[in-house]
Amino acid sequence: MAASAGMRKLAAALLASLITLAAASPAGAQNLPEPKRIPGVGELFVLRAGGGEIERVRAGVFQLVLRRPASAVTVFSDRPQRVVREQRLRSFVKGWTGLGFGADPPNAALSIAEAPSARDVLLFELSRPRLGAGGRTLHLRARPLAGKPDGSLRRFAGRADRAGVRRFGRASLFVDPSGQQVTASFQISGIPRSGQAIVDFTNALIDSTTGIAVNVTGGASYVMGPDVFIVAAQSGAPVDATVTLPVSVAAGATRLMGSASLPPGATASVTIGMGAPVTLMGGDFSAPLQ
């Protein structure tokens, strides 16, 4: 997508992340689109219930039943902005597949109130949610996690217990979509003076806390938001740039998707992990994750 008059100034929090590679940066390079919310990415869902039970279906597979679940799910988002909101439980269950959970079941931590420390935290992979009559129960297929969780559930890793619980009282279920963490490397060549290359993701968010690397030949600057980055040339000679960054892709996605706006004469490609480069022609792009 092209930089346009409709693009607003970055909020103060995003301006703090501006990294200048030359003495000055053109004003246009400091304008980014409104950050978008990508369902599931950067979110943690919390469901509360008055009690429940865990029933064995077969070896390694259980049925988790939450009784008297709260009618609303609390959603904590840390990207693109820190917000807390509520979603109706029925809507959350209905939107399960749309969050990518059908193709990539989420991890979850069941925290049981007033239980002994050896039986108060259980870790699962969840699938097949189903509301009972009147929303009085929520049934989920549960598989105990084999390894330690990452993402928002890391704080439960050292507290996890064996799945020996059958019935339990008040509890909270923390569902972490996690998504997929991949490294995307963009090669951009021939950006003319005062030209800008813009890459905007539609199903991923940039992890700005670690692993970002930018290398350029000639004078250039860049600015980065939660789901977009801009490289702007400032020297007389055309500028080449390599931008490598970690991104979180929506759960269940098989491709990294977005759009690229390139100035005349510039060329670009993207490589995901150790995969083959995908040429960017300008406009929408889609690069396989594997």
Chain segment 13-38, per-residue pLDDT in tens: 333 333 333 333 444 445 677 777 77
Q: Backbone dihedral region of 265: left (phi > 0), alpha (psi from -120 to 50 degrees) or beta?
A: left
Q: What percent of the chain has pLDDT over 90?
A: 46
pLDDT at 11 over 60: no
Question: What per-residue confidence (pLDDT) applies to 241?
Answer: 93
Mean per-residue pLDDT, 95-121: 86
Any long-range contacts for 11-19 (C-beta under 8 Å, 24+ apart)? 14/225, 14/226, 17/208, 17/223, 17/224, 18/223, 18/224, 19/214, 19/221, 19/222, 19/223, 19/224
pLDDT digits (tens, 9 = 90+) for 129-179: 999 999 999 999 999 887 777 667 877 877 766 656 789 999 999 998 766
Q: How confident is the model at residue 41 (pLDDT cuts 50, 70, 90)?
A: confident
